[in-house]
Structures are given as C-alpha cells and as structure tokens.
Chain A
C-alpha cells in the first residue's frame, strides 16, 4: 500500500435552490493511497460528480464548498490560491469525462489541444512536447498517433476520442486520475476496451484512480475498493469483493440486485428500487434512504445512522444486513 495521496474529510458542497443553499454533498469523507483504484458508485444526483469537481475546486459557479477539507499529497488544496490550483489541475490532478465529444473543442485539432496542456504545465520546446504527445497517444493505444494529432474531434470515433481524452489527462503524469463515468457514452465493446486500457495503465504507470460510475460490473473489474454514495452521503465503503458478496447497507444490496443477470429466468421481474432519490434541498433528519428502504426501522426516519466499522469497511445504517 502506498502513501496517503488524497484525503477528503467531511466535504460539504451546497448549491442555491430558490433562495436557500441546499447541500448536494453532505459531509463526504474518504481516502486514497498512491496506487489505489477506488470506485465511487451511486445513482445520478447522488453527488459523485460534484465531489470530484470539488476536489478540483471547479464546481459550477453557483455552488460553494461550505465545509470540510481536501488534502492532496499532504497539501490542503481548498486553501491554496487559484494560480497554484490551476497548475495542479491537468498536471497532478487530472480528469476524464463522460462524454468525450463535448470535452473537446470542436474547432481545434486534437494535437493542438494536447500540446496546449503539455506546454501549459511543463517548460518544454515544441519539439519535446510533440514527442511527448505522440508517446502518450501511443500509450493509450491509438493507432497512428501522428494522424490523430492532425484530426479534428469529430473525425474520430467515440472510443478513439475517449482514448485521446485519457491521453490528454495522462500527458503530464498525473498523481491522481479522476474518471467520471468515462464509459457511459460508449457502446459495450468499446467500454470493455477502455476498461482494459485503464487496467493496462494502472499496471504500467502505477496510476492512482478515482473511478466514478454507476456501472457495477466495470467497477468491479477495475477497482479494489469502492465507495457507495446516496443523496450526498457515503453510505458504505469497503473492498469491492466484500461489497458484492456481503453488502451491509440495504442500498448497496439493492443496487447489486438491480443489475439483470444472464442466468436469471426470463420471467423474473427486474428489480427496481421503489421511489425516487430525494431532490436536492430535501431535509430529512434520518437516513436519506429510509423512505425507499424495505428494512427501515423507526429509528431510520428520525436519526442519521452513525458510521459502523468492520475490518476494511464502514457503513451508515441502523439496520444493516449482517
């Protein structure tokens, strides 16, 4: 196990809803060590992406980080100035997005966008930057890197674009790569290729990865540890194998059950989690999942569950499945 790289402590992010600030992330804590691959799992609106953006200090302009701390490589990055923060982004901390088409400027060639990032963060000559760019495109498995450099984003396929985007993210040897649903916009065969690519990069570059997704299978394949989020809280965290085999939180259990399996009989009804996740701004003194939870007890509705700890895992539930 490597040294502690990222330490998120009681992070809170709020957005204005009407004229009050509503918390989208309500006290999230987790840690990542160098070399880890950590998955973040949750439905849309559970605060996964906002957490990631808060780590980069780039939440949408209406929102604010209202509490907690983020320590990256020992440095409190919520308090350093904007110029230094900008130098961290794209160099030590980089990110891959869900939709690789909208993440590129449609008017510029891939090469220009890639060289831009390299030359922003390192003091290299154009020639050195070019060499590095070709190297990185080759690393992410793009055939004919020189041609990719000359291409406009729309000339590449979805999978190639995502590879190129990962290439940009890796160009300056980041210490931490955040991948925000990097395969959601791709079709299944390409998804598998991208996951393979992440595997390869992890073993070759000793990459530290924070992998945000709602696809459990891909996460299980890629990550050692996972965090399950619901409505802005971490509800469970543990080794991926433990989470899959013996989830403690009912929400984790239900998420796993929701995925249809090939061996299921055709007549089995698909499992759904009844109800909707709470909208932002909903206040509820108890567990946020309690209105949808089949195993909720009286206490769940009135008091937020304390965190319970077991060997290498934690969860917040008054009535866990043991």
Chain B
C-alpha cells in the first residue's frame, strides 16, 4: 500500500474509524464541517453580511438554497461562515485546556498519595464545581462584548470565551489524565525504568504522557462538541459573536421571531447544523475511544 509518507499507525487509525459505521458517519460529518469552515470564502455563494432588502424572507430556491433572512442575507452562506466561530471556539478551548489538564493530571497521578496530589486534585474539584455557561456569561458580562485593545493585541469576544471555556475544561481533562497516570505510575515498566535510574521528569514526560494521549484525544473530541454548544448558546443570548457577523447562535437568535409565522428555514438549518456537529463529534469520539482503548475495543486490531 502506498502511504505518501504518512506513518502506518495513522493510516490504520483511519482504517479502523472506517470499520465502524457510526464512526465513519461522525468522521464524515466532522470533515465536511471542517472543510466548510476552512474554505468558507470559496464555498459560500454570497457574502454572509450582504443585505438584499428586495429578496428578504425568501423560502429555499435554486438561487438561495436555504432561503434568505429578514434583511435578505443568504442563509446558506451564513451557515457556512457560521461554522468558523463554532469550530474556532470548540477547538481552541480544548487546546487551551489541554496543557493545564495534562500538567495537573500527570503530576497528581505520578505523585499519588502525596501532599501535592491532595492539593492539586482539591483545587481541580473546586473549579469543577463552577458551572461553565454561567461563568462564561458572567465574564463576558463584566468585560463587555466589545473587543478590548491591549497594546498591539485586541482581545476579541471569542478569545474571552475560549479562555474561560479552556480554563473550565481543565478539571475534566485533569481527572481523566490523573486516572490513567496513576495507573501507569504503579505499573511494572515504571518500576523498571526507575531501576534503570531514569529521572522522575523523564518518566512523567516521556513514559507516562504518551500513554495518556489516547484518553485525551477522545476527551478532547467530546469537549469540542461542548465548546460548539457553548458558543452557540452564548451567541444566542447575545454574548458571543455579534451581529451582523454570522454564527449559528446568532442566526437562531434572529429566527426566534419567526417560529410561529412559517419561515421555517431560518430556524431549521442553523439548528440542524448545530445538531449534526455535536452528533458528529460525539460519534467520532466514541469511535476513537473504541479504537484507542483496548478494553472497549472489539474491531480489527490496530498494531
């Protein structure tokens, strides 16, 4: 098999995803979504903010596949552009939460039973008790929805959301990493590596960390879905992406007024997009867990 320089295990991973029907479905949904977000300027037939008052509230047709909204903007184009903030928030929040979750989980797991573990894990529990959306609303409420200029940088509203979400992801990630790290830390090979005189730092970073990767990949996928939902929710209540920019939450929010008047396309397509995204990410996460966690795995072997 020609592999274009891609390591064999990644090809096998793709192959295994394809072997489970639901996993393949999830993978396709997420891929389509990602392509939509990346190539939005080229795919979208209209500008997402282009107002056309003569053609407002048009039902789906050949020129506007998903109809037009109150100000005549093309729903299909806005839907495609709306994938961007969703995925940005979903993915960036996980990337911000990862280092913290990894650091805390690895240290607490490796030094299990020590003071360090007690302190770290109790702090994690305190953070875990904080409800995610409420804090996000509070932070944006206090800081305002306008971009804040800080020297050469501007902190956009999305960045605020991403940072808050990422921070609140730390407890969940820390706990899954902790569970794996604690189990690995007592395994024979760690004892063997100690006998070989390997430093604690090396043990944590180069021995235990790679063994935690699979659970983190799975969790990261599932948390991304959470981020998509959070972004939609915040935009819906007006604390996320600001109109006229496109976001699925903003589109739903604007469609509220038309629930009973028959313009179904305004509500249906953004709702569908959010649902499919979350379903896709969850299916992909489940499939990855089945493949990466040998205890749950029943399909072809990956080695």
Contacts and interface: CB of A to CB of B under 8 A. Distances in A.
Decide whether A and B are members of one complex.
Answer: yes
B122 interface: no
Interface stretch (B16-24, B191-199, B216-224, B232-240): B191-199
B202 interface: yes
Interface string B183-195: 0000111111111
Interface stretch (B38-46, B52-60, B204-212): B204-212
A58 B193 CA distance: 11
B199 A120 contact: yes
Interface residues of B, number: 19
Nearest to A60: B191
A216 B34 CA distance: 65
Interface stretch (A16-24, A88-96, A206-214, A223-231): A88-96
Interface in A98-153: 99, 102-108, 112-113, 116-117, 120-121, 152
Majority-rule SS of B interface residues? helix
Contacts of B207: 105, 107-108
B205 to A, nearest CB: 11
Given A108-B206, A108-B207, A116-B202, A97 B197 contact: no
Contacts, number: 68
A58 B195 contact: yes
Given A89-B194, A97-B192, A117-B196, A102 B202 contact: no
A86 B188 contact: no
Nearest to A113: B193
A169 interface: yes
Nearest to B9: A152
Contacts of A106: 189, 211
Interface in A238-252: none
A87 interface: yes
A97 B202 CA distance: 21
A108 B197 contact: no
Contact of A116 (B191, B195, B206, B303): B206
Interface of B: 187-199, 202, 206-207, 210-211, 303
Given A56-B195, A58-B191, A108-B206, 5 more contacts: A89-B194, A89-B195, A102-B192, A104-B192, A120-B199
6 contacts: A56-B195, A88-B197, A89-B194, A108-B206, A120-B198, A121-B197
